[in-house]
Structure 1
Amino acid sequence: MEELSTHNPDEISLKEIVIKLRLARTYIVSKWLTILFSGLIGGLSGLGYAYFKKPVYIATSTFVLEDSKSGGLGQYAGLASLAGINVSGSGAGGVFQGDNILELYKSRSMIKQALLSSVLINGRSKLLINVYIDFNHLQENWQKDQKTSPILFKENTKIFTRLQDSIITDIVKTINDKLLSVTKPDKKLNIIQVDVATKNEAFSKFFNDKLVQTVNNFYAQTKTKKSYQNVVSLQKQADSVRRVLNGSLSGVASAIDATPNTMSREEYMNPGGVKFKEGIEKL
């Protein structure tokens, strides 16, 4: 009876492995020039990319936005509104609700104020807008195109020329479109993340800090203004109540003068006097 031998096509013998390795080595040796040339091209391309591609520095600020919902105070909002007092989250506080805060960070006013802020870099005070102009080599481009003298921004300048205002507008647009990102990583949470990505490490950091500080100052001023308005409203209400009370006291005092065996006007109008207390006890 003949023995049947079975061979699994998926199995490979040690001899076949050695043969395949020899064939691979022979192929690599025959193509060594191509492989070397390809490696050199790849290495040079990587070096060139690393040299010409400037690093991007990203400065990030993350913070929690105040919840402007009234919460437990809401039950008193209607009563307070009768006195002209705003205790709800509406009004000025609405600027800081929802996606409004995201747009506030990207507004021209906030970015402009941050750009015109001075920072200390290498021991020298500089405006951030001048730092931006320097590391982007904008002065050289302007002088080539328009043959103009260097354009510099000075501290504490209130009025700008038409050219300076145009430059500010262009820089604000570039920052908004390419360099600034204001997002809410989680839509369910009041967490705001501000990212500034530029090729200058110092500018990324300082501009991020100044922008957040500018918006925070605006927030504080807005809240303070609303609180001040509430205090003024309370003062007006108190003055009105005082006038009504004084009028009522004067009317009662006149009635006392016309009634015998009662306190005089002067005694009534002096609540701290002894006769006032005695008169109260007799009533």
Structure 2
Amino acid sequence: MNLLDLPKNEEIVTARDAILRMRVWMTYLVDKWKTIAIVAIAGALIGLSMVYNKKTIYTATLSFAMEDERAGGLGSAMGLASQFGLDLGASNAGGAFASANLIELMQSRSIVEKALLDSVKNQGQLISLAQFYINITGIKNVWKKAPDTITIQPKLLPGSDRKGFDLMQNSILAAIYEQLLKYHLKVYQRDRKISILAIEVKSENELFSKSFTEALANEVSKFYIDTKTHKSSQNLAILQKQADSVRRELNYAITGFAEANDNVYNLNPGLNVKRVPSTKRQIDIQANTAILTELLKNIELAKIAVRKETPLIQIIDTPILPLNEERPDKIKAMIIGVILGGMIAVIYLVLSRLWRVIMAAQS
């Protein structure tokens, strides 16, 4: 039976015909087993070569929740409703710290670069995370135009002022940021109905994965708190400055009152004019005392307001050494290579024979 003996329009392909044709194909492929085996072995070798030089990947994961006390009432009601399957919509969808916005914030260049300038102790030396990343990957892998050696100092050390960075340092930080975002960093919300976010960092160095994850969470936490308490903190600072000023005036008035009393000691009771400076100082003391009392009261209220507006940062899970490892599976890569190679060989043999038969039928 010919491989392409197809029935005419009026003919019907029976089950026997189909089985016979399948046998023909199977016989043909069995005869070509050497070709299929060679291609399958080549696929296994290709799969092995692809993972042979790959290093172990370490994954650090940190999960946290950010809670604003001022949003407690409605937020709690919405959280309760979501437990019963009711979606009341996002109460703070437009807020800078809504979950979706917060994910974008944590992947912003400003926050990531601040985290990269945090320090880490590696082999007894204090270096920035940016420098650590350069040491791991190689400067040329970060930016091909960079010189062979360059130093990016961590925070609080000389030369670490971000505003004082030159063009080369800025370009390298930008290149590191792009690589982190593309290959290493992932920020996601675990569930749409809960406000728990997770930071996931993957790299070939266990210490870098852990340190960068924690640094990024710390920078976002500081930015979050500073933003939320900015106005109330400013008000507290102004009140404190006014209280310090009034306290100085009160101390000056007390000293002046004592000096004035010393000047009129054993004074003739009939000379009242001499008592005027003492009386003025006494009035200043009373006025400043009343003002200072009120300011101190307002300062305590302002401190309460700052504490109330300070959001609660709840760290749920932190990366702990040793981290999860993703080792390249050489056996799995070879098996996949064998399967793909065999499939490619079979498809090629089938198509090539069909083509030869069709061309022979047309000639």
Q: Same fold (TM over 0.5)?
A: yes
TM-score of the superposition, structure 2-length normalised?
0.45
Amino acid at match of 1:180: L
Amino acid at match of 1:120: K
Contact kept? 1:180, 1:194, Cα under 8 Å:
yes
1:192 aligns with 2:164: no
Contact kept? 1:139, 1:150, Cα under 8 Å:
no
Structure 1: which 5+ residue stretches go unaligned?
1-23, 75-88, 239-265, 271-283
Partner of 2:96: 95
Q: Matches of 2:64 and 2:146 in 1, distance apart?
A: 45
Contact kept? 2:139, 2:146, Cα under 8 Å:
no
What secondary structure, in the 3-state scheme, does the structure 1 residue paired with 2:201 have? strand
Q: Matches of 1:72 and 1:135 in 2, distance apart?
A: 48
Partner of 2:206: 201
Partner of 1:6: none
1:154 aligns with 2:153: yes
Q: Structure 2 vs 1, CA of residues 195 and 121 (structure 1 numbering), >3 Å: closer, same or farther?
A: same
Partner of 1:8: none
Q: Specify which of 153, 168, 176 is matched with residue 171 of structure 1.
A: 176
Q: Structure 2 vs 1, CA of residues 141 and 222 (structure 1 numbering), >3 Å: closer, same or farther?
A: closer
1:156-200 CA-partner distances (Å, limit 9, x unpaired): 211111211122122223323443222212122111111223333
Contact kept? 2:60, 2:213, Cα under 8 Å:
yes
Deviation at 1:102, TM superposition (A): 1.5
Deviation at 1:53, TM superposition (A): 3.4
Deviation at 1:103, TM superposition (A): 2.1
Partner of 2:52: 51
Deviation at 1:140, TM superposition (A): 7.3
What secondary structure, in the 3-state scheme, does the structure 1 residue paired with 2:96 have? helix
Deviation at 1:147, TM superposition (A): 8.1
1:212 aligns with 2:213: no
Larger displacement relative to structure 2 (175-184 or 224-233): 224-233
Amino acid at match of 2:207: A
Q: Structure 2 vs 1, CA of residues 31 and 174 (structure 1 numbering), >3 Å: closer, same or farther?
A: closer
TM-score of the superposition, structure 1-length normalised?
0.56
User: What is the count of residue pairs matched by the alignment?
Assistant: 203
Q: Matches of 2:220 and 2:201 in 1, distance apart?
A: 15
Contact kept? 2:146, 2:168, Cα under 8 Å:
no
What secondary structure, in the 3-state scheme, does the structure 2 residue paired with 1:96 have? coil
Q: Structure 2 vs 1, CA of residues 130 and 234 (structure 1 numbering), >3 Å: closer, same or farther?
A: closer
Q: Structure 2 vs 1, CA of residues 147 and 109 (structure 1 numbering), >3 Å: closer, same or farther?
A: closer
Percent identity of the aligned residues? Answer: 37
Aligned-residue Cα RMSD (Å) equals 4.3
Larger displacement relative to structure 2 (115-124 or 36-45): 36-45
Contact kept? 1:68, 1:97, Cα under 8 Å:
no
